[in-house]
Structure 1
Amino acid sequence: MSRAVAVFDGDLRLIFINQAAIDLLELPEELAEYGTLMKPFLFHQAKHGAFDVNDFEEEYRRRVGTPRLQTEFTRNDGTTVRVQRDPLDNGGFVVLYTDVTEQRRAEAALQRSELRYRSIVEDQAEQILRCSPDGIITFVNAACCQFQGTGRVDLIGLPAANLVHDEDRDHVAAFFFRGTHRHPTREIEHRAWRGDGELRWLHRRDRAILNNEGEVVEFQSVARDVTDIRNAESQVRQASALAILGQMSAGVTHELNQPLNAASMGVQNLLMQMEESSDPVVTARRDKLEKVLGRLRRMGEIVNHLRSFIQSNAHGHACADLAGIIETSVDLVRHQLTIDDIDVRIAAPSSLSPVLGDKVQLEIVFTNLLSNAHAAILRQRRKQAGAAPPRGAVDIVVDQRSDAVEIRVTDNGGGIPPDVIDRIFDPFFTTQEIGRGMGLGLSLVYRIVTGLKGSIIATNAAEGAVFTLMLPIAEEEGWI
């Protein structure tokens, strides 16, 4: 289709108009003739909606006095016409008319679509963000701002990686922002800090937006908080495993108690026979047998607590001397730790409030945590075979709080893999090699601590794992 053109001379008379302009402007034959004045020419356009007829004189003077003009008008039939007027050297001007109706309709439809899309995005409970191909955030919805605890102005322009937990960034980077025309979407779960400081798990679906050439022009990411779902799944797994363990415990305790009782009675009989002897050799043997009897009694206490662990709760517990329990627990494993060049350091205030708990159960907690640290340090050394291994270290730091005692057990055993850290307390789950652990130690710890209305979390520090326990002080339960 040819361009719609009209040309006027310096006296504002029409000297040329093509058929495209006549058709577009719907000009009658008399207005399309050579020599037609510009005034009736414009008045015809005003009658068809170019501007208000009542303002014709003012609009006419404006147009006559403006050599260069660009404007648009919508006719009464809905047609939108763009007008571009440029001056000529002889004092006249040339006018180009363009039908932009479809273009404007498309733009309006696009604007409506964007408004609908934005409304949908803003109303979503999921977190939605967009970022450039190099990972810089260009858009976030209200849910994303709410999770981060800040506004759009603080998030737009940041690297999207900043919204991922430090320990998960490399893992996430291996999957995120790598979409292609063959694989435009990616899904992954990772941790992120919520605005209130709570660590949460997010399930994220990342989509690459491609142009016609298959090049990535943008990424859109939709994330939802799955922390509660993961916790519920973990509780179901734990409940199922504990149900199996509960069924086994009765038989296990029965089978173990009988030989332990028999062994204890045998040792006691031997000690009774040695009571009257003053022979140094007999005395030395008696001392060793007393230690054996002490260990047998402790084994019996642990076995007897196995069933109570399955149904553990805070009722029936007394106040416990935490400092003494920690010292005893360390003494029980110190010999083996010393053999493997592992130091245990305890930092605790001189005065600690008694905590709610049972002595044997709390000893189980700390001996398991120490054994776990021991295994982690040895495993880290095996990974570094050939290099001089650093000396192992386990630090137990105790702090008194207003209503609880906080205990942090830290090791330099390399830490817990991020992809399994949320399962570390599940029964029968272990990170050790096959044959080196059953995966019950930390689940026992978790069950005992939570049964005492306390809490325990596992995190990673620079060199290893950190287990942080909070045990309520006994006075909170009316023991003091």
Structure 2
Amino acid sequence: DGGRVIVLLNSTTRRDTGGKIVGVISVGQDITERKRVENALKESEARLLALAEASPAAIYLKDLDGQFLLASRAYRNWYGAQGDVRRKTVYDFFPEEDADMYTAHDREVIECRKSLEWEINVPSPSGKCLVVHSVQFPIFGSDGELTGIGGINMDITESKAAAAQIIQASKLSTLGEMATSVAHELNQPLSVIRMAAGNSLRKISNGSAKYEYLTGKLERISTQAERAAAIITHMQMFGRKASEEPCPIDPCDMVRGALGLMGEQLRLAEIDIKTELPEDCPSVKGHLIQTEQVILNLLTNARDAIQSYDQLKEKRIRLAVETEDSENIKVIVEDTGGGIPDNVVERIFEPFFTTKEIGMGTGLGLSVSYGIVRDMGGTIEASNTNRGARFVITLPIADAKKEMG
């Protein structure tokens, strides 16, 4: 058709019996299509490399032996990998302990042949510790065989810090709302201390104080002082930022801790609290203070819903901890406050969304609770019962939960 083709020419000399060259034999092969495919592949690789180089995320590809095939500029900058990283492994750039962790992640992706996610702390060359959300995925060839793995690491340090600030602001807001309740909680042991001290002083002044009597009063004063100190310590702990690493916690302790801070307030509101807590409960992994905050947010909403109905006959909140199966545990909070309007149930966990009157809520409580539960690898769902709202928190049991790197 008059077009040009690309030919691969293989030639060899032809010799006579004396070894003298008498000619040339050549075989030509049309490789036009092969060169077109090769050029298209090079262009595709160039586009992939340009995309990876321009991305703020740290992107990499490895073969099944863990050798890098590609590492983006962000990856090299984050981890101080200089020069050409191809055919090198994580052991060329990281301390052995970190390299072992990354290699274990690679093996897990290869074995399960599906995408996995981790949240890891990574020291950068500048000395700053980065919080990284890592997504790793398998790469399959055209024949369906596994050929390598890829990864996308995103720096979420700032977003984690912002989320922590929101959680802290929500906690302080909750503390403010509980001020009256805590005052009542402290007033009880202080009243006992005042009465015991007053009675002891009167006995001493009229000379009728006996050793056994004074000993009993002092023991009572000591017990009530310890109770008051425990309340104050709990408040101080609740107000602090959660900087410690997640650790195993008893879901029943979450409920007890929240009721310890808010139980008196609910009693003053004439709300009956029904708890269903198993004697032996599997642990979940998280921050105790943050999980108490989730329960407090739900209790606060339940209280407000119940109090909004002046003529409500049954004022009750039910708190239950149930083992769903060998992998998950449920924490249930139910109330008799009339429920959530059907047209807002789907939006109930959105930031700054609230059904309360202006000035009665920030709209952050349920959003913060959603984030805390999500970071623990769990879920929180809202629904309505015949008498009110029902929130179900599902958390993975610590032993069954995959450890974060």
Q: TM-score, normalised by structure 1?
A: 0.43
Between the two structures, name the one with larger relative contact order (CA 8 Å, sep ≥ 6). 2
Query: Larger C-alpha radius of gyration, 1 or 2?
Result: 1
